Amino acid sequence: MVPRFCEVAVSVPLRKTFTYAVPTSLSQVVEPGSRVVVPFRNRALVGVVLSLSQRAPTETIVREIVEVLDPISALPAKLIELGLWVAQYYVAPPGEVFRGILPPAADIRHERELFLTDAGRQYSTELASHGNRSGAEIADLALLQFCEVEDRPVRFASLKKLPGGEGAAARLVRSGMLEAREVALRRHTRLQKILAWNPEVTPPEDEPARRVRDVLLSARGPLPLPRLIEAARVSRAVIARLEKRGALRSWEEPLSMDEDLLEAEFTPPSNELNQAQQLAVSEIISWLDSKEFTTGLLFGVTGSGKTEVYLRSIEETLARNRTALLLVPEIALTIGIGRLCRAWFGAGVAVLHSALPDVERAREWWRVRNGEARVVVGTRSAVFAPLENLGLVIVDEEQESAYKQEETPRYNGRDVAIVRARMESAVALLGSATPSLESFHHARSGKYRLLQLEMRIENRPLAAVEVVDLREDFRKSHQAGPISAQLDTAIAWRLAEGTQALLLMNRRGFSWFLLCRSCGATVQCENCSISLTYHKRRDRLLCHYCGYSRRAPKTCPKCQSEYVYFVGEGSEQLEEKLRERFPEARVGRLDRDTVRSKREFQKVLGAFASGKLDVLVGTQMVAKGHDFQRVTLVGVVSADTALSLPDFRAAERTFQLLTQVAGRAGRGTLPGTVLVQTYFPEHYAIQHAARQDYSGFFEKELQFRRLMNYPPFTALANLVVRDRKVENAIRWSRTLEGFLTRQESNGLRVLGPSPAPLARLRRDYRFQFLLKSPRRSFLSKILSSALEFCAKKEIPESAILLDVDPLNLL
């Protein structure tokens, strides 16, 4: 039977899908999962077919799909199912969910075309016949006549040739003389030449030819021409000669993938697994062999060799003819682990993350879709990689908030990974030294299987952690600098013995804010209810939320007093203080102000790893994952930054960050020390982190969550009502409050509306509801009906922000 209609997810912010007719010419090629071009209003958009059907929809006008983009369907059936789950669970527009699942449309270009209407034809004759024309009319006539002469749609871009053409086009479209439509055109991607060795031809026996053969045959495999020339150290002429002889085969491919991952010199360490690692791997093998959905939590202290367990598990998965996905929380971490995977599994590894240029990402994506790559390493969005026959999904550092997307669709990559594994009867493996409370709770209750690596590799000791009481330090020194006497001595000691120190300062900029000592005001952002941060090198005050910036005023903007002071230290200031205090030390800084690209990031990290820096200062960027061998001191300059935030996860975040950063010390053969500076030395998050006592912290925090009825004891959603006008935000919150409180008899708990902790953000006033329910599916259902209710009450969809399982309540 030929399909006559299809349901398409079109990338627009509306919570519905759209029905299109399938023209007979396309009925053979269109499938569920096909990318298609469809008319939408007067534009052409790319969408994805979710299902086919025979039955005509109830709407009267059904438009036809224009084009099917790919020879095979882009999305396998399981990914369509997963996308629909995400849309439903996170109450997100399906089109926006699927936009994130589809390959980047790097091969598509949009352009506007103009069509002459009947009215336009008539108007053209009229204008031509009457003599006295205004300047605008002259331009209008010229354009109309141009369209008539061309006798086909005119590209908007070609109007530049016509004087006044663009203005005339806008006028004529408005008055209905011309019709504008957007069309999608295929872009021709740039190609490059790839060379491979042809073993069937006896090669010439000279030295350059041998080098080419070695590179292509044993060291690297097929390479783009410029890379080959570089790697084999030969000239273009040598390549040309070998090609002529038939010793080289060549073909064209779209632009290269990220080549620096394939390093010829790099051989990964091959370690014999220790007993704990072996035990973990054999458990994972048994789950793979059961072919049943299993979630495992690999709880291993920092430096216990979790990566090795991941690699072996992937190897075992591939050996069973299934594919594997490895997620890491940050782009920077894909570099190291991508390199390891390439070294283990060769070209069958694809790396996917959002910072890749679209063309490259599309290429990697299609390599996965075509089955050329069977292992994917990537960040959050790679959870949607089009692997088929998935056997294993690993989520490294599963507790990381980077897995949560903080824009629509607000999904958590870790949770989607588990759902995906369930849909494919695969194994989900979560790894962490500091599991999230939720995950460890599930492991203890038996929902997840627990695997433990309790010791560091070779029984290296965990670093000793000392808490430095800043109140005490102030009493002695009468100075409230960022570096206590104890930390100062410890740094000096490292400089003298030639090892390295890593300092965590989890706030960027120079000073936290500018305070007026006369009236107590701080300088606030124009768009947000937050104090501006001072950045010295740029000599400006910046908002870290919306990007607003202004010159630092000399006098208080409120009372004109001259007594304005900079308060608090950020990473920029810490770097400056260190340089003053230790002029001979080589100091580097790693935060979003010093590194804006992957290249810069690698440069700083590389310099530190190779010993070209003595001290590295940074925000939480420095805390994660890295394996530095010569770090013997980790200093946490202030453990208190996160603790003071109004968020029930503040203690958990602090504990995790401190444990993570402490894990950067003493990873090599040299033992490490950690100094944690704080004004709250008794706080349980700090106390337990200092003892590196996860289970102690877990028990205490779990008790608090149970008492306060927070996750994992309840499902949580955050609903924010926002608008430029405070009256609207209040009125709509009141309306919604009525609806939500009516659901309380069904088991929903409603907290709010109350002003959000960031009561104003990017000019919007914000009111917040926290919604709790013992059942997650019930919560999603309530949220959907809340949205329907809003539509009925004419509250704009853009005024409602929904966050299911929120990680951040600001």
Closer to ligand ADP by CB, 457 or 546: give it. Answer: 457
798 binds ligand ADP (CB under 6 A): no
Supply 634's token pair.
């980790």
Give residue 331's Cα distance to chain centre: 8
305 binds ligand ADP (CB under 6 A): yes
Binding region for ligand ADP (CB under 6 A) out of 285-293, 300-308, 677-685, 801-809: 300-308
Phi, psi of 473 (to 5 degrees): -60, -40
Order of strands, sheet of 323-327, starting from the edge strand that comes earlier in the sequence: 349-352, 375-378, 323-327, 390-396, 427-432, 294-300, 449-453
Closer to ligand ADP by CB, 239 or 658: give it. Answer: 658
721 CB-near residues (< 8 Å, 6+ apart) = 729, 732, 733, 736, 753, 766, 767, 768, 769, 795, 799, 800, 801
CB atoms within 10 A of CB 251: 10
CB 663, min distance to ligand ADP, A: 6
Q: Kindly determine how many residues on this chain lie close enough to bind Zn ion according to the rule CB under 5 A.
A: 15
Longest dimension (CA), the chain: 96
CB 182, min distance to ligand ADP, A: 49
103 binds ligand ADP (CB under 6 A): no
Upstream peptide bond of 712 is cis (omega within 30 degrees of 0): yes
What is d(CA 526, CA 531) in angstroms, rounded to the nearest whole number?
Answer: 10
Q: How would DSSP label each residue in 146-205?
A: HHHHH-SPEEGGGGGGSTTHHHHHHHHHHTTSEEEEEEEEEPPPPEEEEEEE-TTSPPP-
Contact 676, 468 (CB under 8 A): yes
Contact 42, 180 (CB under 8 A): yes
Upstream peptide bond of 409 is cis (omega within 30 degrees of 0): yes
Phi, psi of 350 (to 5 degrees): -115, 145
What is d(CA 416, CA 422) in angstroms, rounded to the nearest whole number?
Answer: 10
Supply 532's token pair.
């501006």
- For 568-590, what is the HEC assignment? CCCHHHHHHHHHHHCCCCCEEEE
Candidate residues 559, 708, 751, 791; the one interacting with Zn ion per rule CB under 5 A = 559
CB 524, min distance to Zn ion, A: 9
Binding region for ligand ADP (CB under 6 A) out of 132-140, 214-222, 267-275, 763-771: 267-275
- Among ligand ADP, Zn ion, none, partner that 558 touches (CB below 5 to 8 angstroms by kind): Zn ion
Candidate residues 73, 277, 334, 511; the one interacting with ligand ADP per rule CB under 6 A = 277
- Do the strands 673-678 and 631-636 form a parallel or antiparallel pair, or are they unpaired? parallel
Residue type, 759: A
What residues between 616 and 655 interact with ligand ADP by CB under 6 A?
Answer: 627
545 binds Zn ion (CB under 5 A): yes
457 binds ligand ADP (CB under 6 A): yes
CB 413, min distance to ligand ADP, A: 19
Question: Which is nearest to 298 in space by CA: 306, 287, 288?
Answer: 306
Residue type, 297: L
Question: Which is nearest to 740 in space by CA: 792, 775, 801, 785?
Answer: 785
274 binds ligand ADP (CB under 6 A): yes
Closer to Zn ion by CB, 117 or 527: give it. Answer: 527
- Among ligand ADP, Zn ion, none, partner that 546 touches (CB below 5 to 8 angstroms by kind): Zn ion
- Among ligand ADP, Zn ion, none, partner that 306 touches (CB below 5 to 8 angstroms by kind): ligand ADP
What residues between 539 and 598 interact with ligand ADP by CB under 6 A?
Answer: none
Supply 312's token pair.
């072996």
Binding region for Zn ion (CB under 5 A) out of 18-26, 260-268, 546-554, 649-657: 546-554
- Among ligand ADP, Zn ion, none, partner that 300 touches (CB below 5 to 8 angstroms by kind): ligand ADP
CB 501, min distance to ligand ADP, A: 20
What is d(CA 524, CA 513) in angstroms, rounded to the nearest whole number?
Answer: 9
Strand-pairing partners, residue 231, are: none
Supply 623's token pair.
């805390």
- Among ligand ADP, Zn ion, none, partner that 308 touches (CB below 5 to 8 angstroms by kind): ligand ADP
Binding region for ligand ADP (CB under 6 A) out of 195-203, 301-309, 512-520, 599-607: 301-309
307 binds ligand ADP (CB under 6 A): yes
Rg (CA), the chain: 30
518 binds Zn ion (CB under 5 A): yes
Question: Which is nearest to 65 in space by CA: 81, 48, 79?
Answer: 48
Give strand ranges (E) for 270-411. 294-300, 323-327, 349-352, 375-378, 390-396
Closer to ligand ADP by CB, 95 or 303: give it. Answer: 303
182, burial (CB in 10 Å: exposed 0-12, middle 13-18, buried 19+): middle
Closer to ligand ADP by CB, 271 or 695: give it. Answer: 271
Closer to ligand ADP by CB, 434 or 768: give it. Answer: 434
What is d(CA 270, CA 590) in angstroms, rounded to the nearest whole number?
Answer: 31
- Among ligand ADP, Zn ion, none, partner that 794 touches (CB below 5 to 8 angstroms by kind): none
Candidate residues 352, 443, 556, 799; the one interacting with Zn ion per rule CB under 5 A = 556
- Among ligand ADP, Zn ion, none, partner that 784 touches (CB below 5 to 8 angstroms by kind): none
Contact 523, 553 (CB under 8 A): yes
275 binds ligand ADP (CB under 6 A): no
Candidate residues 295, 304, 432, 436; the one interacting with ligand ADP per rule CB under 6 A = 304
Strand-pairing partners, residue 51, are: 7
Closer to ligand ADP by CB, 456 or 508: give it. Answer: 456
Order of strands, sheet of 540-542, starting from the edge strand that comes earlier in the sequence: 533-535, 540-542, 549-551
308 binds ligand ADP (CB under 6 A): yes
- Among Zn ion, ligand ADP, none, partner that 548 touches (CB below 5 to 8 angstroms by kind): Zn ion
- Among ligand ADP, Zn ion, none, partner that 528 touches (CB below 5 to 8 angstroms by kind): Zn ion
Candidate residues 30, 36, 467, 525; the one interacting with Zn ion per rule CB under 5 A = 525
Q: Binding string to ligand ADP for residues 405 to 444, with x set by CB under 6 A, is what?
A: ----------------------------------------
Supply 565's token pair.
């002071």
- Among ligand ADP, Zn ion, none, partner that 303 touches (CB below 5 to 8 angstroms by kind): ligand ADP
792 CB-near residues (< 8 Å, 6+ apart) = none
303 binds ligand ADP (CB under 6 A): yes
Candidate residues 11, 73, 124, 302; the one interacting with ligand ADP per rule CB under 6 A = 302
Binding region for ligand ADP (CB under 6 A) out of 207-215, 304-312, 380-388, 795-803: 304-312
454 CB-near residues (< 8 Å, 6+ apart) = 276, 300, 301, 304
Q: Kindly determine how many residues on this chain lie close enough to bind ligand ADP according to the rule CB under 6 A.
A: 16
Closer to Zn ion by CB, 403 or 548: give it. Answer: 548
269 binds ligand ADP (CB under 6 A): yes
CB 278, min distance to ligand ADP, A: 9
Candidate residues 256, 408, 527, 687; the one interacting with Zn ion per rule CB under 5 A = 527
What is d(CA 228, CA 123) in angstroms, rounded to the nearest whole number?
Answer: 63
CB atoms within 10 A of CB 235: 11
CB 555, min distance to Zn ion, A: 8
Closer to Zn ion by CB, 545 or 713: give it. Answer: 545
Candidate residues 162, 183, 185, 273; the one interacting with ligand ADP per rule CB under 6 A = 273
Q: Binding string to Zn ion for residues 467 to 506, with x set by CB under 5 A, is what?
A: ----------------------------------------
Residues near Zn ion (CB under 5 A) are 516, 518-519, 521, 525, 527-528, 543, 545-546, 548, 556, 558-559, 561
Residues near ligand ADP (CB under 6 A) are 269, 271-274, 277, 300, 302-308, 457, 627
